[in-house]
Structure 1
Amino acid sequence: MIRFEHVSKVYEGKEALSDLNLTINDGEIFGLIGHNGAGKTTTISILTSIIEATYGEVYVDDLLLSEHRDEIKRKIGYVPDSPDIFLNLTAQEYWQFLATIYGVPKEEASVRIDQLVTLFELGERRYEVIDGFSHGMRQKVIVIGALVSNPDIWILDEPLTGLDPQASYDLKEMMKTHAKEGNSVIFSTHVLAVAEQLCDRIAILKKGKLIYVGSIEELKKSYPNKDLETIYLELAGRKAQED
């Protein structure tokens, strides 16, 4: 279980995230929804220890993040919103590097990498330098890297961007399986149809503030005879942003 308790992030006097109180349960796919700048990536960056909260605390399995960062990091597999990292390594070197950092035994890492390479159809391209890959290929490399250690918590920031239909389908099926096994999957998306298809619950953020948390089914019941896009835009769209 993951808990955000009164978490805020302030940049130069401006709140990017404001007093976030949120619980993410084991065994669920949890979606972060919102416009650019709503606070989705800030929330993910705090949870992954890329940045620190200005105020408030985060707990993962009852461990305080500020006191147990290394232990919590080992529980997390993270896919950032940009795959343009470690471009001078081959894909294989990148995966082996992550396996070493996470302390995955060589034989176990080799088996898992082979399984993921087969699933995502990278074949012999695994030995090529990442810099020569397309955006979609780089995304596959980063996704495989995040999963090499078989982490309990998957944190995926716009993970489907650039993936081909087969890879997108395979990743979504893996997300479902991972959650069914009692683990947590947290992902951000701009695609409401994907959120509706996958998420057990969602959080909608607007200007750094949490404005809704719950299931999409519950949200729709509160706005009868309206589709999800209309509901979302009423809550967080241009007109709502001006309120």
Structure 2
Amino acid sequence: MIQVDKLQKKYKGKVALDIADVTIKKQEIIGLVGNNGAGKTTFLSLVLDLIQPTEGGVFLKDKNVAVHEDWKQYTGSFLDDTFLIPFMTSYEYLEFISKLHGWKKGDLEEFLEENKQFYGDDFLSGKKMIKDLSKGNKNKTGILGAMIGSLDLLILDEPFANLDPTSQQWLRIKIQKLAEQGVTVIVSSHDLQHVTGISSRIIMLEEGVIIKDVANTENTLVELESYFGAKIQEQTN
């Protein structure tokens, strides 16, 4: 599904990301973890062709994302609210995204009905523009938009942030259902409990380098908490 080949990104000569080789298979749920500045968002931005690599490339279904655009038809993503259109309402934005994917109005209504537990009754009926929404409702709008279309790949950066507990649980279940239906998912999150609760595989970045790439097991959360706890001790000593 995803092949990373000698991928490197530098800013003003400083290496922000350096990944020699990674393969992500269809239906995997990848939990991407690491401290701020570890390279998580840089990696996701390279996968989505939002920035250009200094060296190497990212290949989706054997095609370089920087050269081909086929991947845009089957990839949904939400990294932050810059993906949104601030002077639209949530419904207008989702309608806009659905039209880009060739959906009819009935398709969107069916999608919203299917996922209505994720948002409140007044979320889509209100006239409030996205720029005036709470951070949580902005995230809900972006996450729903990322799920529109015929997905093979879903990429979410900090999707659990600013969501209430019910919405967080809904999202966890939804991601796992999508994977069961054949979707590959990459979730970057600081919330170790959520990310280990849904992922089949954990990739940890530190200073732009992968330092751990393992199958998620019942011991993974404890191992991650121990690792980051040790980091706190290092900083205080």
The two structures have a TM-score, normalised by structure 2, of: 0.89
> Could you tell me which amino acid in structure 2 is paired with residue 123 of structure 1?
D
Structure 2 unaligned regions, length at least 5:
none
> Could you tell me which amino acid in structure 2 is paired with residue 173 of structure 1?
I
CA contact 1:83–1:138 (8 Å) conserved in 2: no
Q: What is the distance in 1 between the residues matched to 2:209 and 2:63?
A: 24
| Per-residue deviation, 1:227 | 4.4
CA contact 1:77–1:155 (8 Å) conserved in 2: yes
Residue by residue over 1:6-35, the C-alpha shift from the partner in whole angstroms, topping out at 9 and shown as x without a partner, is 101111111110134211111111011100
Which of 223, 226, 229 aligns to 1:230? It is: 226
Q: What is the distance in 1 between the residues matched to 2:83 and 2:164?
A: 18
Tell me the number of residue pairs that the alignment of Structure 1 and Structure 2 aligns. Answer: 232
Change (3 A) 1:170 1:81: same
**Equivalent runs, 1:118-197 vs 2, <5 Å:** 118-126=116-124, 127-128=126-127, 129-197=129-197
CA contact 1:91–1:130 (8 Å) conserved in 2: yes
> Could you tell me which amino acid in structure 2 is paired with residue 115 of structure 1?
E
1:223 counterpart residue number: none
| Per-residue deviation, 1:63 | 1.9
| Per-residue deviation, 1:232 | 4.1
| Per-residue deviation, 1:238 | 5.4
Deviating more after overlay: 123-132 vs 137-146? 123-132
CA contact 2:17–2:208 (8 Å) conserved in 1: yes
1:62 counterpart residue number: 62
Residue by residue over 1:164-191, the C-alpha shift from the partner in whole angstroms, topping out at 9 and shown as x without a partner, is 1111111110100111122201010111
2:95 counterpart residue number: 96
Deviating more after overlay: 196-205 vs 79-88? 79-88
Change (3 A) 1:230 1:83: same
CA contact 1:154–1:185 (8 Å) conserved in 2: yes
Change (3 A) 1:82 1:125: closer
Deviating more after overlay: 123-132 vs 31-40? 123-132
**Equivalent runs, 1:208-223 vs 2, <5 Å:** 208-217=208-217
Q: What is the distance in 2 between the residues matched to 1:81 and 1:171?
A: 16
Change (3 A) 1:20 1:194: farther
> Could you tell me which amino acid in structure 2 is paired with residue 30 of structure 1?
I
1:71 aligns with 2:67: no
| Per-residue deviation, 1:200 | 0.7
| Per-residue deviation, 1:215 | 1.7
SS at match of 2:217: helix
Structure 1 unaligned regions, length at least 5:
221-225
Change (3 A) 1:209 1:240: farther
> Could you tell me which amino acid in structure 2 is paired with residue 80 of structure 1?
L
SS at match of 1:124: coil
2:50 counterpart residue number: 50
| Per-residue deviation, 1:83 | 6.5
Change (3 A) 1:150 1:200: same
Q: What is the distance in 1 between the residues matched to 2:123 and 2:219?
A: 44
| Per-residue deviation, 1:231 | 2.8
> Could you tell me which amino acid in structure 2 is paired with residue 106 of structure 1?
K
CA contact 2:202–2:213 (8 Å) conserved in 1: yes
**Equivalent runs, 1:79-118 vs 2, <5 Å:** 79-82=78-81, 85-116=84-115, 118=116
Change (3 A) 1:50 1:138: same
CA contact 1:18–1:209 (8 Å) conserved in 2: yes
